Amino acid sequence: MTSMNERYALTAELADLTSEFKVDRIEYAFFEKEQYEPTGQIPVIRPIGGQRWLSAQRWGLMPYWGKSSLHADRATLGEKRYLLNMLAKKRCVIPCSALLFERREGKKRIAVYRRRHAEKRVFGVAGLFDVWLDSEKQEYPMCTIVTASGYGAEGSMPLILEGEAMDKWLDPAYNRLESVRELLLSIPEPEYRTEPVLP
């Protein structure tokens, strides 16, 4: 049985990111990688001071459950108050080249297939971010990927943002919760190219 993706690839060049996402400032030493993994540092795009910055954040929210939260389903965002705050004020985009799906065999994960955008080399999925302060007031930026249930065999897929939807998602002035929820619900199931992962 395949799981929801807990790995993804970003193999596009920096020029692809700056063009596709209209990045104004680069704060992160981005490099291509076949597998970005949970709890690691991943590249994200977020609005700061009227610009779009490419920076790094930890994939997984903490310490709300005592373990990382990698995904947040759009249907249940309203059930957790801290997620509502992020939904209104702390939105980001995670650039991807492919989503990786795996099969669990005991404690092992075996890659089964990848899903790529039907037309683009790089695409952006909706994310929410926060900054956790430890006991010494050290800041730890972190993020989660917004998903939608009921998609294909996986049952849940990250939400792809394009065009006007992405512009609204990254616009801090677009902050009415009702409007943001409607935006999320209006995003259709994406079209992917599926390819096997060869052993």
pLDDT digits 0-9 by tens, 139-157: 889 999 999 886 655 667 8
Domain assignment present for residue 13? The answer is yes
How high does pLDDT run on average in the chain?
86
pTM: 0.90
User: In a 3-state reduction of DSSP, which class is residue 39?
Assistant: coil
Domain assignment present for residue 2? The answer is no
Domain assignment present for residue 174? The answer is yes
Token pair, residue 49, equals 């001071």
* Number of compact structural domains in the chain: 1
pLDDT at 95 over 60: yes
Q: Are the CB atoms for 83 and 69 separated by under 8 Å? A: no
Q: Which residue has the higher pLDDT, 58 or 104?
A: 58
Alpha-carbon span 20 to 145, nearest angstrom: 19
Domain assignment present for residue 36? The answer is yes
pLDDT of residue 172: 94
Residue position matching structure tokens 């935006």: 183
Q: Are the CB atoms for 115 and 83 separated by under 8 Å? A: no
Helix axes 177-186, 81-89, angle to 10 degrees: 80
Which domain CATH number covers 80? 3.90.1680.10
Alpha-carbon span 45 to 26, nearest angstrom: 9
pLDDT of residue 65: 55
User: In a 3-state reduction of DSSP, which class is residue 67?
Assistant: coil
Q: Tens of pLDDT along 62-77?
A: 765 556 788 998 888 8
Token pair, residue 82, equals 């801290």
- Quick one: which of 40, 36, 38, 39 has its CA closest to 9? 36
Alpha-carbon span 110 to 58, nearest angstrom: 23
Domain assignment present for residue 1? The answer is no
Domain assignment present for residue 84? The answer is yes
Alpha-carbon span 7 to 38, nearest angstrom: 7
Mean pLDDT of all residues in 17-44 = 91
Domain assignment present for residue 148? The answer is yes
> Can the peptide bond before residue 95 be classed as cis, meaning omega within 30 degrees of 0?
no
Q: Which domain holds residue 95?
A: 7-196
Domain assignment present for residue 152? The answer is yes
The conformational region for residue 155 under phi > 0 = left, psi -120 to 50 = alpha, else beta, is left
Mean pLDDT of all residues in 12-32 = 90
